[in-house]
Structure 1
Amino acid sequence: MNLEEIYKSKIVTAKQAAEKVKSGNRVVIGHAVGEPTAVIDAMVANCEAYENVEILHMVAMNKAEYAKPGMEKHFTHNSLFVGGNTREAVSSGRANFTPCYFSEVPSLFKGKLPVDVALIQVTQPDEHGYCSYGVSNDYTKPSADCAKLIIAEVNNQMPRTMGDSFIHVSEIDYIVEYNHPIVELNPPKIGDVEKAIGEHCASLVEDGSTLQLGIGAIPDAVLLFLKDKKNLGIHSEMISDGVVELVEAGVITGKAKTLHTGKIVVTFLMGTKRLYDFADNNPMVEMYPVDYVNDPTVIMKNSKMISINSCVQVDFMGQIASESVGLKQISGVGGQVDFIRGSNMCKDGKSIIAMASTAAHGTISKILPLLDGGSAVTTGRNDVNYVVTEYGVAQLKGENLKDRARALINIAHPDFRPSLIKEWEKRFKAKF
């Protein structure tokens, strides 16, 4: 058969694809905005045919109805990163949470958590029969690489991304054609606090630096203050729309990168159509699996590597809690530790934790003597380097406990400094 015949022979409806999933299967769903929504909806509609189907996923951007009340007999959701649509299911005990570094997820699929079915979303095949994973390479490609069964949703609106981001149509078992816009995330509102944090972070960025940025108001605010920099590069878990503006302004060129010179290296995309259009068939943007992009020994090869991540709380010792509030799991480690360690291993690198000084409309300090009871330590005190709030920069690496606690208090919100100083003096038996 020629390529066209091979392709057509694999086409099924979403309902027919869902029927290929069997009770007891472990099903990995493509990540974030790369979810194959038609097949997921068909599985939920077919739920009475299943018992104990385990669904592995990280950030669920669709409805996540497999984790809703009443689905327990049919589906068990095993979350590798708790998102807004699955948070309640995990906290109520209907779903499970498995802690892991993002970079290690592919190795779990090859060992501890073998994949029965990979549900992926890809582009239409090119003239050589290759489909691109588009916006979601990360663990999606590795899951398909080792799955017993691959069901692909082919979407003609999926951007075609470059790098190690392709699967040949002959490797796919079943194809569901479903054309729809990729889910968009509207840019966050950037207020005065975020702008101040962004400016402080930007002061640590030198010309020729390679950046890792997350998503949200703080990373976007950092980008606002980089417009006078030269030859910045990107090696990041993901990027959002702000990067596009700096590429167009000639700030991000990648010319100074020592790894993948001239390329923006990422593992998944999340933003608006502007970002997806920018990445489509753009040889500057290269997508690779997460066990490469987030590998600290790969990250460290970028000169002047700077990682910028956020957190929920930091205590006097410099312990960072980014994924839970007390015993409540609200997200996951993601790539934070991967990039902090990679940046720290780079001889001229810098790792930054950036956060607002308060939470809950200014009623709670995010700098505390102790983390809330039960909170998971995401980044240990031995890994933390810079902490930034709207009030300044605290460098903790190489500082003793007394001095790092003092530096953190100096960038805490002024309303909380007196009580923090009191706790500091009590702990360290000294005058602040």
Structure 2
Amino acid sequence: MSSLLQHKLMSATEAIDLLGGGQTVVVPTGAGEPPTLLTELSKRRREFHGVTVSQILATCPFDYFDAETADNVRHSAYFLGGAARPGAREGYGDVVPTHFSMIPEMLRRGVLPVDAVFSVCSPPNENDYVYLGLAADYTMAAISRARTVVLEMHPGVPQTNGMCRVHLSEVTGIVESRGDLTEIGPNPIGPTEIAIAEHVAELIPDGATLQIGYGSIPDAIVQQLTHKHDLGVHTEMFGNGLLDLIESGAVTNERKSLHTGQTVLTFAMGSLRLYEYLHRNPKMLILPVDLVNDPYLAGQNDLLHSINGSLQIDLIGQCGSESLGSVPYSGTGGQTDFVRAANRSRGGKSFIVLPSTAKGGTISRIVPVLAPGTHVTTPKNDTDLVVTEFGVARLRGKNLNQRARELIAIAHPDFRDELLHAATALNLVY
């Protein structure tokens, strides 16, 4: 143990003592969240007033997610996951609308507040650098602005290649982790997901660069791509599905026009095997999200193919991907970032994927108009290819009449007559 590390070590109790009332603590995405520090904050939450924990995707339901103590410690989400969703719906948590790519600059400008940063980190290397190897995202920008930086050292956090390392001299303290890193298992894949995946895979050529999200449909898609050649990866989230695709030999990154030879990501969330794969791997490049998701930069990849899901889409192509009516469900995240990046990429394609129905086939996800209050994630002008299990609707460059007909054709057959009648009443189809 170096003398600098020994000097920086502190207990979780001492770390929480550094917080004051009214402060905002920024925490990284998903697996980057520090379990020991957030458990200790949860235990002592009644000692504080007006503390906010800001994070894009909370995965663990720590005890501070609590309606009774929301005035003490309150969660503010840039994107909702299962842990934060009840608070946002019931009023004891907050949602901040934003594009993922914009969060670092908003932190640097003070548009988003940050007083302290809590994150997991790797053990230090021989030069006393620790690595935020699971989430560079906006955390590096937050560290540049924060008065207090406490990192939770966990032996399972990889020392990764890219812009994600911090010297021990720059941190307030290091806490040794006593918790487990967040792991995410495989998603269930059924016939609907496989059918959607087959439609998408047919349109992805050899040499394409992929951005792909998390869920059953993305997992099904990567399984359909193992026979492809020289694929590349430039994505915000790196998960087990993409790792399997790399190990199949389909991904080489050799035909990428940006960061040739390297997989680019801004955060990782999957299994311990995935985290081990990232450790000192020169073929993996983890960068802050304003570099990964910026539509201009990402769009410099030729043949960029982005794949993202939606909850609902209307007949002119507006995608409601983050709410159920007016009730928040997730967030914008990087969907619009990568839709626009793929649209500007030479030879690129942007896919919005969704099952044709929900609630056991009782409602159509393709609707005449979005439900009242729905948060529009991808505007109609940006929507390119929409895919359900019944086929592909090509919307870019199409007029409203053509768009409505394309979308009705990939709706579930049980709802097509109803949708056609509604489209006629709306003067979309004539």
For normalisation by structure 2, the TM-score amounts to 0.97
Counterpart of 1:76 in 2: which secondary structure?
Answer: strand
Counterpart of 2:32 in 1: which secondary structure?
Answer: coil
Counterpart of 1:182 in 2: which secondary structure?
Answer: coil
Aligned residues: 429
CA contact under 8 A between 1:19 and 1:46: conserved in structure 2?
no
Structure 2 CA distance for partners of 1:180 and 1:38, relative to 1, 3 Å: closer
1:106 aligns with 104
Where do 5+ consecutive residues of structure 1 fail to align?
A: none
CA contact under 8 A between 1:137 and 1:290: conserved in structure 2?
yes
1:81 aligns with 79
1:327 aligns with 326
CA distance in 1, matches of 2:356, 2:57: 26
CA distance in 2, matches of 1:381, 1:369: 13
Letter in structure 1 aligned against 2:50: N
CA distance in 2, matches of 1:119, 1:385: 39
**Which of 1, 5, 8 is the equivalent residue of 1:10?**
8
CA contact under 8 A between 1:64 and 1:86: conserved in structure 2?
no
CA distance in 2, matches of 1:414, 1:272: 39
- 5 Å-filtered alignment, 1:38-57, equals 38-57=36-55
Letter in structure 2 aligned against 1:52: G
Counterpart of 1:331 in 2: which secondary structure?
Answer: coil
Deviation, 1:135, is 1.0
2:67 aligns with 69
Letter in structure 2 aligned against 1:13: S
1:308 aligns with 307
1:401 aligns with 400
Deviation, 1:245, is 2.0
Deviation, 1:430, is 5.3
Structure 2 CA distance for partners of 1:421 and 1:265, relative to 1, 3 Å: same
Q: Residues 259-291 of structure 1: CA distance to partner in whole angstroms, max 9, x if unpaired?
A: 000100000011112221221221111100011
Deviation, 1:119, is 0.5
Letter in structure 2 aligned against 1:75: V
Q: Residues 218-258 of structure 1: CA distance to partner in whole angstroms, max 9, x if unpaired?
A: 11111111122110000001121122222122110000000
- 5 Å-filtered alignment, 1:122-137, equals 122-137=121-136
Deviation, 1:165, is 1.4
Letter in structure 1 aligned against 2:390: Y
Deviation, 1:65, is 2.3
CA contact under 8 A between 2:301 and 2:346: conserved in structure 1?
no
Letter in structure 2 aligned against 1:51: H
Moved more, 374-383 or 422-431: 422-431
2:210 aligns with 211
CA contact under 8 A between 2:156 and 2:276: conserved in structure 1?
no
CA distance in 2, matches of 1:282, 1:96: 37
Moved more, 318-327 or 133-142: 133-142
Counterpart of 2:251 in 1: which secondary structure?
Answer: coil
CA distance in 2, matches of 1:364, 1:206: 34
CA distance in 2, matches of 1:74, 1:26: 12
Letter in structure 1 aligned against 2:229: K
Deviation, 1:147, is 1.0
- 5 Å-filtered alignment, 1:121-270, equals 121-270=120-269
Instruction: Give the CA RMSD over aligned residues.
Output: 1.3
1:384 aligns with 383
Counterpart of 2:144 in 1: which secondary structure?
Answer: helix
Deviation, 1:155, is 0.5
CA contact under 8 A between 1:258 and 1:302: conserved in structure 2?
yes
CA contact under 8 A between 1:310 and 1:322: conserved in structure 2?
yes
